[in-house]
C-alpha cells in the first residue's frame, strides 16, 4: 500500500503544478526536488546537516527518556511526591517549547547542546505520563504475589512492573521519537547554522524551494524510520503477550 500511496501522491503533486502553473520557487515539481536531492547528496551537504540533526535527536531522546522514566517511576510509587511535584511539572510543560527555545540558546549557546535539551524537554512530559500510567496499571494481585515471595524492590521492578508496563511505555516512546524531530528543528530554527532546520532557513532565505522540500522530506523520512524501528522492537519485545 505504501508504494501505491506514494505514486498517487506524486501524480497529484505533478497535476497540481500543471493546473496551477506554479513557478519552481513557489511549488517545485517532483523532478526538480529529486535533482536537488541528488546534488546535495553528491556534494555531502545533505549528509552533513542530517548527521547534526540526528545527533541532536538521539541525544535529546536519551536524556528525555532516562529522566522521564526515572521521575515517572518515583511519582508512580509515591502519591505524596506526585502531589508535591505534579503542579510544577505541569506548569513547566504548559510553556511552549517555541518560547523556551530562545532562552535555551542564549543560556547554552548555538551549538548542539541547546538543541539536545530542547528535544529532551519536548519528549519528557509524554514519556513521564506514560511511565506513571504504565507502572500503576500493574494488577494489585500480582504485586501481592511478589510481596508474598519476599521479592526485592529491584526484582519486583524487573520481573513484574517493567514487563507489565511495556505496552504503555512503547506508546510513549512512539510519540517521543516524532516529537524529538520537532524539537531539533525548533532549536535549529531559533539559532543554528547546521542541521536540517538550519538548511530550511538557508533555503528559505535564497528562495531555494527545492532544497527546502529536500530537507522537509528528509525530516519526514527520519521520523518515519525511527517510528518504524520502535514498532519493530515493540513487536519483538511484546511477542510473549500475543502468544499468551
DSSP assignment of 163-177: HHHHHHHHHHHHHHH
Would you say residue 59 lies in a domain?
A: yes
pLDDT, tens digit, 9 for 90 and up, residues 1-54: 566 777 777 777 777 777 767 677 777 777 788 888 888 888 888 899 899 999
148 exposure class (CB count in 10 Å sphere: 0-12, 13-18, 19+): exposed
CATH number, residue 127: 1.10.3720.10
Would you say residue 30 lies in a domain?
A: no
- Of the two residues 176 and 206, the one the predictor is more confident about is 176
Per the structure, how many domains does the chain have?
A: 1
Would you say residue 6 lies in a domain?
A: no
pLDDT, tens digit, 9 for 90 and up, residues 148-169: 777 777 777 777 777 778 888 8
Would you say residue 3 lies in a domain?
A: no
* Helix (H) or strand (E) run with residue 2 in it: helix 2-20
* pTM of the model as a whole: 0.84
Give the structural domain span for 120.
45-243
Would you say residue 95 lies in a domain?
A: yes
> Which stretches of 43-111 are DSSP H helices?
45-77, 79-94, 97-108
Would you say residue 27 lies in a domain?
A: no
| 240 vs 244: CA distance, rounded Å | 6
Amino acid at each position: 500500500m505504501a508504494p501505491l500511496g506514494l505514486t498517487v501522491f506524486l501524480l497529484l503533486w505533478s497535476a497540481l503544478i500543471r493546473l496551477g502553473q506554479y513557478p519552481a520557487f513557489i511549488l517545485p515539481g517532483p523532478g526538480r526536488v529529486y535533482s536537488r536531492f541528488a546534488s546535495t547528496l553528491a556534494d555531502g551537504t545533505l549528509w552533513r546537516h542530517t548527521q547534526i540533526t540526528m545527533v541532536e535527536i538521539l541525544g535529546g531522546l536519551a536524556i528525555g527518556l532516562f529522566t522521564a522514566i526515572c521521575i515517572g517511576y518515583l511519582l508512580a510509587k509515591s502519591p505524596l511526591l506526585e502531589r508535591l511535584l505534579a503542579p510544577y511539572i505541569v506548569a513547566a510543560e504548559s510553556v511552549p517549547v517555541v518560547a523556551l527555545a530562545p532562552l535555551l540558546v542564549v543560556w547554552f549557546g548555538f551549538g548542539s547542546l541547546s538543541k539536545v535539551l530542547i528535544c529532551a524537554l519536548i519528549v519528557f512530559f509524554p514519556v513521564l505520563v506514560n511511565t506513571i500510567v504504565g507502572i500503576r496499571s500493574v494488577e494489585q494481585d500480582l504485586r501481592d504475589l511478589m510481596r508474598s515471595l519476599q521479592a526485592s524492590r529491584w526484582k519486583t521492578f524487573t520481573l513484574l512492573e517493567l514487563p507489565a508496563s511495556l505496552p504503555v511505555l512503547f506508546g510513549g516512546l512512539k510519540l517521543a521519537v516524532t516529537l524529538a524531530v520537532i524539537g531539533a528543528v525548533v532549536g535549529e530554527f531559533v539559532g543554528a547554522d547546521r542541521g536540517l532546520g538550519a538548511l530550511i532557513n538557508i533555503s528559505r532565505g535564497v528562495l531555494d524551494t527545492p532544497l527546502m522540500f529536500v530537507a522537509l522530506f528528509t525530516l519526514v523520512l527520519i521520523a518515519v524510520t525511527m517510528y518504524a524501528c520502535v514498532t519493530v522492537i515493540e513487536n519483538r519485545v511484546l511477542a510473549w503477550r500475543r502468544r499468551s
